Amino acid sequence: MTEITRSKARLWSRLGARAVLGQALLEAAKERDDFYVVSADLAQSSGLGRFRGEFPDRFMNAGIAEQNMIGLAAGLAKDGTNVFATSFSPFVTMRACEQVRMNMGYMQLNIKTVGLGSGLIMAQLGNSHFGIEDGAVMRAIPGMTVVCPADGAEIVRTVEALCDYGKPAYLRLTGGPGLPVVYEEDMGFRIGKAISLREGKDIAIIANGTMVHYSLKAAEILAEQGVDAAVLDMHTIKPLDTEAAEAQLDKKLIVTVEEASIVGGLGSAVAECLAPKKNKPPQLMLGIRDCFPHAGSYAYLLEQCRLTGELIAEDIMKALRN
């Protein structure tokens, strides 16, 4: 297991999600020879340049053919071998959706798809490249695990965990170079187990991906205004840590925050979990409000979608007043 230190966390932050993915897979490949990596003409973009150079027999390029990439991965995974398959998030989750459904869902083959540049980080490239529905689409497939780590250190731990995870999963990568640091030491990561980052008695903020950092920021702002907010890193959207979600039922408000559409993602997963409960607080669902945002810089997009610490705090205060 890679050691997590403050200086590494900062380095990973500078490198960004994709480079950290490539580095984590490279480190894993040095220690074990039981997995393959495939990509759809995005080896460099997946941070896999060195991997391809050092392990040419374990890397395959399917070309710009995501559907076939999943079939290729499925054939390699048919005997239980673990295969990571990477592409930009809309292409690997939606272009190849039915291949994912048949091979990873129905046949439960041991493939880990990785959605690069999910959320809004593709910025000026526009909505064709944004990953706003990917988590929802993957979550809807029976038998799929969906993980969206908060920062570089958690991406490293997720990749390590997925190397030992014998089931199909989707790894959703948000953020880019300059990824905010959440973890400077080992966080005790386990797939399906939320991490409590801040205790609080008034409200609970449940977030994942880059929004964990912004939720912590929001909690600080809320504290100044007399609201004591708990923050949970719900990195695994499916299977959801229902125990951790249910433990928030004593709060005045539950808030879910995701760099994704509010339709079908983390917020929906939490709502589905809590819906049958008799006495429950209202849930404020923050994320992209069922639209294709106007493209622009990443900072502009986060602002426009009200996904910064300040704006999250503002929306929470408004909900508390109503």
Cis peptide before 276 (omega within 30 of 0): no
Residue-wise DSSP of 5-55: -HHHHHHHHHH-HHHHHHHHHHHHHHH--SEEEEESS-TTTTT-HHHHHH-
Tokens 């409200």, residue located: 203
**Is 48 within 8 Å of 39 (Cβ atoms)?**
yes
Establish if 6 lies at the interface with other proteins (CB under 8 A): no
Nearest distance from C-beta of residue 140 to other proteins, angstroms: 16
**Is 300 within 8 Å of 287 (Cβ atoms)?**
no
Cβ proximity to other proteins: between 60 and 254 the closer is 60
Residues 93-122 that bind other proteins (CB under 8 A): 98-99, 101-103, 106-107
| Number of chain residues interacting with other proteins (CB under 8 A) | 25
- Per DSSP bridges, beta strands 111-118 and 82-88 are parallel
Options 55-63, 229-237, 265-273, 313-321: segment touching other proteins (CB under 8 A): 55-63
Residue-wise DSSP of 101-113: IIIIIIS---EEE
Cβ proximity to other proteins: between 83 and 195 the closer is 83
- Strands (E) in 203-266, as ranges, are 203-207, 229-233, 236-238, 253-261
x/- track of binding to other proteins for residues 68-87 (CB under 8 A): x-xxxxxxxxxx-x------
Cβ proximity to other proteins: between 103 and 283 the closer is 103
**Is 158 within 8 Å of 172 (Cβ atoms)?**
no
Nearest distance from C-beta of residue 299 to other proteins, angstroms: 37
Options 61-69, 134-142, 223-231, 299-307: segment touching other proteins (CB under 8 A): 61-69
Cβ proximity to other proteins: between 68 and 308 the closer is 68
Tokens 């991965």, residue located: 73
Cβ proximity to other proteins: between 77 and 284 the closer is 77
Cβ proximity to other proteins: between 12 and 36 the closer is 36
Residues near other proteins, by CB under 8 A: 57, 60, 62-63, 65, 67-68, 70-79, 81, 98-99, 101-103, 106-107
